[in-house]
Amino acid sequence: MKMVIITACSTGVAHSRMCSAALKKEAETRGHTVATEMQGGHNLTTQLSREVCQDADIILIAYAIAIDDQERFEGKIVIKLPISKAIRNVKAVIDKVEEVYASNQD
């Protein structure tokens, strides 16, 4: 599965970076292709293009603040959850992403 993971916290440093790295590692361990973007404060990793987002099978957003440019995800399966829950339950989050993706393949 092709997955986009976007994390966002108020400063864009600790929580976003830790969460992004943990989710990406777990997803890649399971064989998924992952593109990541971190938002927050004055920090923004390279913003993922609309094309990258539209090419993904699913978008996972772990947030503590609002996400910019959500129109990039139009028509895609989007899962949103608080970043604090994602950090504490990485495996369960990826389990949920796989479950939602599988249920939309019917």
Would you say 4 and 35 are in contact if contact means Cβ atoms under 8 Å apart?
yes
Q: For this structure, is 53 an active site residue?
A: no
- Enumerate residues 6+ apart whose C-beta is below 8 A from 47: 37, 69
The residue type found at 74 is: E
Angle at which helix 90-103 crosses helix 14-29, to 10 degrees, equals 60
Q: Choose, from 5, 9, 87, 94, the residue flagged as catalytic.
A: 9
Catalytic residues: 9
